[in-house]
Homo-oligomer: A and B are copies of this chain.
Amino acid sequence: MARWEPNARGRLEDAALDLFTERGYDKTTIAEIAQRAGLTERTFFRHFTDKREVLFGGSAHLHDVLVGAVAGAPAGAPPLTVVASALEQVGTLFEERRSFARRRQAAIKANAELLERELVKLAGLAEALDAALRARGTAEGPASVAAETGIALFRAAFTSWIAADDAADLSEYIRAAFARLHALALASSPK
């Protein structure tokens, strides 16, 4: 057998979320997380720069998928359409993970430091979206509006999805959010 159990990082993430759920973020020490994962405090900091980062490791992946999806969208597609389909693609990553997402979101909501970090991560995603759009030729104004709007809708969809108890995928919630925006835009645009 291997010298070390595999997936140290994943074990740390699981242990951390469990402990945060059980007793809260600031009542949990890194030593405890590491111990539950069968590792050392020092090793925790080799995998995560920060105590908070243990809940945000996945965002790098989101980032990559998002940027890739925008880059791979058909050439002529309008910015908001590109953003919508990129976000739907991201949504599929969350299949079968609703209960995990729920627990994670509950932990974040309960702590100001974690909320702060989440805000930063979302801003980072918006910036990445913006840059990816501009890289495919979208002009500055439309790119930033589409990026910000997209992230705002993503957040709204995510919240509804977490709260809901149906069988729907996150992607469907995202699609619905964009549809609603589209309807609003049509209804309000001066003709």
A residues engaging B (CB < 8 A)? 116-117, 119-120, 123, 141, 148, 184, 189-191
* A148-B144 Cα distance, complex, nearest whole Å: 13
By CB atoms of chain B within 10 A, which of A117, A123, A141, A184 has the most? A123
Contact call B117/A184, Cβ cutoff below 8 A: no
How many copies are assembled? 2
- Please list 12 pairs of residues, one from A and one from B, whose beta carbons are closer than 8 Å in the complex, sorted by A's number: A116-B116, A116-B117, A116-B120, A119-B119, A119-B120, A119-B123, A120-B120, A141-B184, A148-B148, A189-B190, A190-B190, A190-B191
Q: Which chain B residues border A141 with CB–CB below 8 Å?
A: 184
Label chain A's interface by main secondary structure: helix
A190: B residues at CB distance < 8 A: 189-191
A17: shortest Cβ distance to chain B, in Å?
22
The smallest C-beta distance from A108 to any residue of chain B, in angstroms, reads 14
CA distance A116 to B121 in the complex (A): 10
Chain B's closest residue to A181 (CB) is: B141
A141 to B183, CA, bound (A): 13
CA distance A105 to B116 in the complex (A): 20
Q: Which residues of B contact A123 (CB under 8 A)?
A: 119
Give bound CA distance, A82 to B142, whole Å: 25
- Give Cα A148–Cα B120 distance, bound, in whole angstroms: 16
Alpha-carbon separation in the docked complex, A148 to B123 (Å): 13
Residue of B nearest to A116 (CB): B120
3 pairs of A and B residues whose beta carbons are closest in the complex: A116-B120, A119-B120, A119-B123
Residues of B within 8 A of A120 (CB): 116, 119-120
